[in-house]
């Protein structure tokens, strides 16, 4: 499992060391919930003294937050669909694209994603909530842009953020439970996103206010 500790005491440039510890910790947090991963274990895995982890991240929570931040933003940021070449594309096709994009980008990390997010312990921490919200909001903006809707309307974003809750739950049903196939998950998310768009547009035109 662990090699005979590659060269203890070896000096590394701070960035590298930081990154190395972060990688090790990331794997551990992806495999086991927050409380069951000890700082000692992170240090041991990284071949480093316990104190060094605290030195770089201050706090166990600190290193967790950094990992969480990456895990949340990573699927959002990677290969977003270029918004330029979508001018003539009809709404229904855009919805299809949004769903496919989401399922594709989530699939590889899905397993570990839930473990990191689950975090039985610190789930409610306001800082954690902030990071999660940030990720959800960014994803909502991307989605609205891809759909050609106004990403600045706060109620629209709220609706899409809420939709995000279903998107995650659907992935869960697909990847974890296996209760849905990818095709079923896709169909469900597609149909529902169409309904969300319809509701958003009704809200926007019908009541007219921001």
Partner DNA sequence: AGACTTGTTGGCACTGCGCCAACAAGAGGG
Partner DNA sequence: CCCTCTTGTTGGCGCAGTGCCAACAAGTCT
Q: Could you tell me which stretch among 41-49, 113-121, 153-161, 200-208 binds DNA (CB under 7 A)?
A: 41-49
Total of chain residues touching DNA, rule CB under 7 A: 24
Q: Is residue 106 a contact point for DNA (CB under 7 A)?
A: no
d(CA 113, CA 135): 13
Which of its own copies, DNA, none has residue 8 at its interface (CB below 5 to 8 Å by kind)? DNA
Nearer to its own copies, 19 or 92 (CB): 92
Beta-carbon contacts of residue 118 (< 8 Å; ≥ 6 apart):
33
Which of its own copies, DNA, none has residue 10 at its interface (CB below 5 to 8 Å by kind)? DNA
Q: Which of residues 52-81 bind DNA (CB under 7 A)?
A: 52, 54-55, 58-61
Which of DNA, its own copies, none has residue 186 at its interface (CB below 5 to 8 Å by kind)? none
Q: Which of 191, 197, 82 is nearest to 146 (CA)?
A: 82
Q: Is residue 9 a contact point for DNA (CB under 7 A)?
A: yes
Residue 11 CA from chain centroid, whole number: 33
Q: Is residue 178 a contact point for DNA (CB under 7 A)?
A: no
Q: Which of 101, 208, 40 is nearest to 93 (CA)?
A: 101
Nearer to DNA, 40 or 184 (CB): 40
Q: Is residue 12 a contact point for DNA (CB under 7 A)?
A: yes
**Of 19, 31, 32, 51, which one interacts with DNA (CB under 7 A)?**
51
Q: Which two tokens stand for residue 55?
A: 């030195």
For 3-66, give the secondary structure using H, E and C.
CCCCCCCCCCCHHHHHHHHHHHHHHHHHHCCHHHCCHHHHHHHHCCCHHHHHHHHCCHHHHHHH
Which of DNA, its own copies, none has residue 165 at its interface (CB below 5 to 8 Å by kind)? its own copies
Nearer to its own copies, 17 or 168 (CB): 168
Which residues contact its own copies (rule: CB under 8 A)?
A: 32-35, 114-115, 117-125, 128-129, 132, 154-155, 157-159, 161-170, 172-173, 177, 179-180, 184-185, 187-188, 191-192, 194-196, 198-199, 202-203
* DSSP letter, residue 180: S
What dihedral do alpha carbons 131, 136, 138, 142 form, nearest 10°? Answer: 160
d(CA 135, CA 128): 11
Residues forming contacts to DNA in the complex (CB under 7 A) are 8-14, 17, 37-40, 47-52, 54-55, 58-61
């Amino acid at each position: 499992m662990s090699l005979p500790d590659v060269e203890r005491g070896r000096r590394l440039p701070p960035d590298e060391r930081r990154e190395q510890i972060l990688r090790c910790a990331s794997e551990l947090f992806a495999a086991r919930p927050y409380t069951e991963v000890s700082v000692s274990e992170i240090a041991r895995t990284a071949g480093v003294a316990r104190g060094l982890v605290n030195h770089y991240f201050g706090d166990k929570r600190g290193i967790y937050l950094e990992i969480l931040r990456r895990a949340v933003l990573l699927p959002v940021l990677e290969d977003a669909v270029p918004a330029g070449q979508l001018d003539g594309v009809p709404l229904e096709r855009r919805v299809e694209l949004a769903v496919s994009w989401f399922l594709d980008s989530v699939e590889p990390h899905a397993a570990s994603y839930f473990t990191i997010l689950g975090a039985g312990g610190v789930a409610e921490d306001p800082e954690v909530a902030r990071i999660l919200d940030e990720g959800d909001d960014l994803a909502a903006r991307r989605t609205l842009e891809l759909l050609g809707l106004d990403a600045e309307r706060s109620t629209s974003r709220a609706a899409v953020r809420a939709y995000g809750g279903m998107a995650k739950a659907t992935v869960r049903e697909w990847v974890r439970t296996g209760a849905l196939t990818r095709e079923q998950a896709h169909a469900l998310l597609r149909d529902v996103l169409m309904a969300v768009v319809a509701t958003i547009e009704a809200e926007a035109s019908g009541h007219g206010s921001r």
